[in-house]
Structure 1
Amino acid sequence: MNTRRWLSGVAVAALFLAGCAGGAKEADPEITAPPTDASGEMTVWLMDGSQPETVVDAVNKKFNEKYPNVKVNVELQQWAGVQDKLTTAMNTAETPDVVEIGNSLTAKFADAGLLADLTASADDFGKADWLPGLIPSGELDGQRFGIPYYAGVRIVMYNKAHFQEAGVEVPKTLDELEQVAAKLSEKKGTKADGYSAFYFPGKFWYGALPFIWSEGGDIAVKDGDNWTGKLDSSESKSGLERLKRLVDTYSTAPTDGNEVQNWEVFQDGDIGMVMDSWWAPGAIVGANKEFAPNLGVFALPGVTADKTAPAFLGGSDLAIPEKSKEKELAAEWVKIITGTEIQTQLAKEGGVIPNNEASFAGHEGNEFLQVADQAAKVSAFTPVSPNWGNVESEAVLPDMLVKIFSGTASIDDATKDANAKIVDLLNG
Structure 2
Amino acid sequence: MATASSLLSAAAVRERAHRLYELGIEGELEHFDVRLDRLPATADFVLSTMRAAYPDLDIPYHSRWRHFEAGDINRWGGLVDASGLAEHPLRFGRAAYDLAIVSVLLDAGAGPDWRYEEAVTGGTYARSEGLGVASFAMFTSGLFSADPADPLRADASALAALTADELAAGLQVSPSNPIVGLEGRVALLNALGRTVAERPDLFGEDEARPGGLFDACVAAAGEASIAAPAVLALVLDGLGGIWPGRIMIDGVRLGDTWRHTKLVTDDATTQLAPFHKLSQWLTYSLLEPLLWTGVAVEDVDGLTGLPEYRNGGLFIDMGVLVPRRRDALSRTWHVDDEFIVEWRALTVALLDHTADMIRERLGVDRVALPLAKVLQGGTWAAGRKVAAEKRAGGAPPLTIASDGTVF
Structure number with greater Rg is 1
Question: TM-score range, shorter-chain basis?
Answer: under 0.3
- TM-score, length-normalised on structure 2? 0.26
Between structures 1 and 2, the one with greater helix share: 2
Between structures 1 and 2, the one with greater strand share: 1
- TM-score, length-normalised on structure 1? 0.25
